[in-house]
Amino acid sequence: MMVSAHAVSRPRGVSRRRLRGPMARSRRFLSRSVLWSLLGGFAVTILFSQLVFLANSVADLRREIDDLQKERDCLRAAVAQKTAEWQQVSARDVVVSRAEKELGLITPDGPGTVIVMSTRAKERSVPAIWRVLGTVGGGGEKIQAVSAQPR
């Protein structure tokens, strides 16, 4: 009579595993320790790939910042060049010469009439000797000439 391993009675409280002996092996394809090792390796691989992705993103952003700074410098140089060109085109001499050519503007040769106003307050600031000499020597003309000079 043939007796199967399942038919063997086992004492109460003893598990099947204990009855197998040292040479027995599990019927499962993967044991729990192998499964946990595979999951841990997968998690470490994902972690390292995310770190590499993050480092590459930081490097790309730094390169983009450098490119933007170079572009900003080029734009500032272009603005400075355009400003210099505008100042050359809008200079007074250029505007007057264009107005003479295109509009027929006639510019006077001299500065024209210059009016200088003098008040009593300025006459008092002139030293007394100059006022006396001005009234005695040439009238009030010298006082006005002296008071009109810049200090």
- Tokens 């006082």, residue? 143
Do 34 and 91 lie in one domain? The reply is: yes
Which of the given ranges, 11-25, 42-56, 131-145, has the highest pLDDT on average? 42-56
Give 50-75 pLDDT, tens digit per residue: 999 999 999 999 999 999 999 999 99
Percent of the residues in the chain that have a pLDDT greater than 90, as a whole number? 36
Give 10-34 pLDDT, tens digit per residue: 556 656 555 555 655 556 666 778 8
Domain membership flag for residue 5: no
Do 79 and 140 lie in one domain? The reply is: no
Do 41 and 63 lie in one domain? The reply is: yes
Nearest Cα neighbor of 135 from 117, 125, 123 is 123
Do 103 and 123 lie in one domain? The reply is: no
Do 84 and 138 lie in one domain? The reply is: no
Do 144 and 132 lie in one domain? The reply is: yes
Mean pLDDT of 122-130: 66
Interatomic CA distance for residues 104 and 26, integer angstroms = 111
CA dihedral 143, 146, 149, 151 (to 10 degrees): -120
Host domain of residue 70: 29-107
- Asked if 125 and 147 count as a contact pair (C-beta separation under 8 A), the reply is yes
Confidence class for position 127, pLDDT limits 50, 70, 90: confident
Do 71 and 141 lie in one domain? The reply is: no
Give 96-107 pLDDT, tens digit per residue: 888 888 888 877
- Asked if 118 and 144 count as a contact pair (C-beta separation under 8 A), the reply is yes
Domain membership flag for residue 22: no
Burial (Cβ within 10 Å: 0-12, 13-18, ≥19) of residue 92? exposed
CA dihedral 61, 44, 29, 25 (to 10 degrees): 170
Number of domains in the chain: 2
Domain membership flag for residue 146: yes
